[in-house]
Amino acid sequence: MFDEVGRLPSTQRMSMKKTANRPSKQSKPIVNQPTNGASKKAIGAIDASRLQSFQSDFESRPENRMALNAVAKTSLPNVSLNRQRVVENNHVFSIQLKSGDATSQNASGRCWLFAGLNPMRAAMIEKYKLDSKFELSQNYLMFWDKLERANYFLESILKTVDEPVGSRLLDYLLRDPIQDGGQWDMFVNLIRKYGVVPKSIMPETESSSATRWMNHTITHKLREFAAELREAANRGESKAKLRARKDEMLSIVYRMLAIHLGEPPKRFDWQYRDKEDKFHRIADISPQEFFKKYVPYDIDSKVCLIHCPQSSKQFGTVYTLDYLGNVIDGEIIRYLNVELQVLKNATVEMLKSGETVWFGADVGKMMDRDLGMLDMDIYDFSSIYGIAFGLDKASRLDYGHSAMNHAMVFTGVDLDAKGNPKKWRVENSWGEQVGDKGYFAMSDNWFDEYVYEVAVDKKFVPKNLIKAFETEPVHLPPWDPMGALATKR
């Protein structure tokens, strides 16, 4: 036990002084040392002959020296940039939907909220002739997501009071109880329960744009609450008393969120001028009423499709993830795993119909941020190292090299003469300074390898698959790679 300043109690410190000069009876750590003066060769160790072989192999290839010189002075992406792919991946598309100016999630993990709100605000800009900079408040939804997620976490703690400290499940729950990531169904839960407001009604704060310290302090408190609830449950406290205490805990979380993000409005007035300079006022309306009356977007018609070719998963099967969600009384996360072409066809058809598409992908792979390009051949790493890189999509998931970590929006596609996609237009949420004023071009082969999920209208999905979507889902552990987008930091 340590005291409040991290020191041992004074009685223990005195005891330590009395015994400081005594020989230690503790065993010495075991180290690998030769015996009888003879050196033992460890199996698998890098010995002198192996090291000499590595060095000789490197020095025998002149191209290695050239690569070393180049990479020593220039970043690997710049050295290996494939100029031909840069030329081919221009930002011109045969189908390009109207959308607003690029948005920025700043130093936060709110991509899924931005990607969810951007199609809605694009529809509003078009219908009400709004300025292209118009946005719906991401801060508003983040407030409710954090509060709901705190409740979801504490309920999960109550469900797992018998889990021992150090178990994989408890470790998972405690790792990031209020982090920023999320999933499509979690977004839908927030919209249905809380509606939306214009960004001018609940604008950004320092903590909404840079969530680190807010998350840090609330996480500290939630872990403290978790310890308290588990100890009380193990003492035999009734569920009624535990939940009463949980409500007190949530009141504290609400207070902390309000300090960081501001209080969400219950009702509000919204005034704006359209592109024709006409004045409009919507008075005394709730966020839920505002969404139903003024946001021309059918959120209930959408379903989530994933393409996950792991051998552990089957196509035509619905999956969910345990202990992964936000709103206790909302929908669970639900995906239908489909063949790649099904997912791709539904996306193309939705874009043809004039509606943008929310999607989840692994954005960190083969991506040039400044050029705004996602392409499997954008970098020629193989020529630099003289080796091939061979993991396929399933293996990358199996061995931890890829997972959904970012949500964006498809706003266009470039189709060839036969109607097949060549490249895709992507609305990101990293501001206007990257890509083509915030928009990216994605090659079709990148789509194949790193796009994992889309939210599309049911009418673009084969009827037999919609029936499958309504079946009981197979439960996955919360650390499955298909849940990574909802657990990003």
- Rounded average pLDDT over 244-270: 98
What does the DSSP assignment read for 378-437?
Answer: SB-HHHHHT------HHHHHHTTS----EEEEEEEEEE-TTS-EEEEEEE-SB-TTSTBT
Cα–Cα dist 265/280, whole Å: 20
Cα–Cα dist 293/81, whole Å: 48
Which of the following is catalytic: 91, 260, 307, 406?
406
Least confident of 24-28, 310-314, 424-428, 464-468: 24-28
- Rounded average pLDDT over 75-82: 95
Which of the following is catalytic: 139, 189, 405, 428?
428
Contact 202, 144 (CB under 8 A): no
Which of the following is catalytic: 89, 111, 139, 151?
111
Single-letter code of the amino acid located at 424:
W
Domains and their CATH numbers in the chain: 95-487 (3.90.70.10)
Identify the three-state secondary structure at position 318. strand
- Rounded average pLDDT over 60-72: 95
For the stretch 107-128, pLDDT in tens is 999 999 999 999 999 999 999 9
Q: What is the reported pLDDT for 27?
A: 46
For the stretch 409-463, pLDDT in tens is 999 999 999 999 999 999 999 999 999 999 999 999 999 999 999 999 999 999 9
- Rounded average pLDDT over 179-193: 97
Whether 191 has a pLDDT exceeding 80, the answer reads yes
Q: Which helix (H) or strand (E) holds 280?
A: strand 279-285
Q: What angle do CA 185, 393, 366 make, to 5 degrees?
A: 90
Indicate if 82 belongs to the active site. no
What is the sign of the dihedral through the CA atoms of 296, 299, 301 and 306?
Answer: positive
Contact 284, 267 (CB under 8 A): yes
Least confident of 8-22, 63-77, 151-165, 209-223: 8-22
Nearest-CA neighbor of 372 among 79, 102, 76, 99?
102
Cα–Cα dist 112/343, whole Å: 19
Q: What is the percent of the chain where pLDDT is above 70? A: 92
Non-local CB neighbours of 368 within 8 Å, separated by 6+ positions: 77, 81, 86, 378, 379
Q: What is the reported pLDDT for 488?
A: 64
Instruction: Provide the token pair at 342.
Output: 């099904």
For the stretch 334-371, pLDDT in tens is 999 999 999 999 999 999 999 999 999 999 999 999 99
| Residue 32 banded pLDDT, cuts 50, 70, 90 | low
Contact 307, 451 (CB under 8 A): yes
Burial class (CB in 10 A: 0-12, 13-18, 19+), 66: exposed
R_g of the chain, CA atoms, integer Å: 27
Using left for φ > 0, alpha for ψ between -120 and 50, and beta otherwise, residue 204 falls in beta
Indicate if 189 belongs to the active site. no
- Rounded average pLDDT over 71-75: 95
Indicate if 428 belongs to the active site. yes
Whether 185 has a pLDDT exceeding 60, the answer reads yes
Whether 402 has a pLDDT exceeding 90, the answer reads yes
pTM for this prediction: 0.90
